[in-house]
Amino acid sequence: MSDKYHDTVAASSVTTDDGQVKAAVEKILAEHKQENMNQDVYRFLFNTIDLTTLNSTDSNQSVAAFVERVNAFDEEYPQLKNVAAICVYPNFAEIVRTVLDVSDVDIACVSGGFPSSQTFVEVKLAETALAVAGGADEIDIVLNVGNFLDGDYEAVCDEISELKDSCRGATLKVILETGALKTAAGIRAASVLAMYSGADFLKTSTGKGYPGASLEAAYVMAQCIKEYYEKNGRMIGFKAAGGVATTEDAVAYYTIIKEVLGEAWLTNDYFRLGASRLANNLLSDILGEETKFF
């Protein structure tokens, strides 16, 4: 098939050889991961966390209590930077905005029929607009994997572009659901399409129903981000989510991004980790004792 969407993907020189990707990841980690297992990196990584609650049992009361822990963190650990954002379902944006007292923590909402992306485009647009109106600074949507796998790249791109418009000024993170895409070729194509459609961040996974983040997916996504930056001069962020639970996991993703993209991406404006368990594990390693604050 030849159209501008497929041609744009085909123009990418990022490797689609899964064996090469695996070898490259192993080499980077063998050479550089250990040097990043240190307190400075742990503290940085804590400040990149999108602290997440996405449960069927979430309620106004439980989300308010969740936010209060983030408020309390500032008072109890003034020597540490707080998490980057609180990530919730869109109907809780207003609750988070009301309860959150910490100025440097953003409000992120999943939207667009999360986690399946299976609903009417009109519903996705309305949900996104309502989340932003309720106070969301960031919107995490799922790429329409069904349309993508059918090869209908135009529909995939049109939807992302429309959702970007619906975000108004909010940051748009596009979840590729890399566990469903499986191959380097699929991840490269999805990355390219999302960026050219207006994504501000590429995110690995929903953490719901498919394998979560993988270092191989992160490597391919980072290479695509690098290539896009070299061609267009726009920095796109990277977010790993789905199963990133331990300090060692987090450092591995940090190492990939540092080696592929460089120091400019080592800020929470361009590097995020979506997690619910990671915060306590990182905090324990920073403080030197088991800590269950969140």
Concatenated DSSP letters for 94-128? HHHHHH---TT-EEEEE-SSTTTT-S-HHHHHHHH
Residue 280 in tokens: 């306590």
Measured CA to CA, the distance from residue 155 to residue 161 in angstroms comes to: 10
Catalytic residue among 203, 249, 258, 285: 203
Q: Which of 179, 175, 178, 223 is nearest to 200 (CA)?
A: 175
**Angle 247-261/215-232 helices, nearest 10 degrees?**
30
Measured CA to CA, the distance from residue 53 to residue 56 in angstroms comes to: 10
The partner residues of 108 in beta bridges, in order of sequence, read 87, 138
Catalytic residue among 106, 239, 249, 258: 239
Element (H, E) at 156: helix 153-166
Is 140 one of the catalytic residues? yes
Counting Cβ atoms within 10 Å, is residue 67 exposed (0-12), middle (13-18) or buried (19+)? buried
Catalytic residue among 106, 140, 249, 285: 140
**Quick check: 240 and 207 in contact, CB under 8 A?**
no
Is 203 one of the catalytic residues? yes
Is 173 one of the catalytic residues? no
Measured CA to CA, the distance from residue 268 to residue 45 in angstroms comes to: 9
138 φ/ψ angles, rounded to the nearest 5 degrees:
-140, 145
CB atoms within 10 A of CB 126: 14
**Quick check: 293 and 70 in contact, CB under 8 A?**
no
- Enumerate the active-site residues: 140, 203, 239
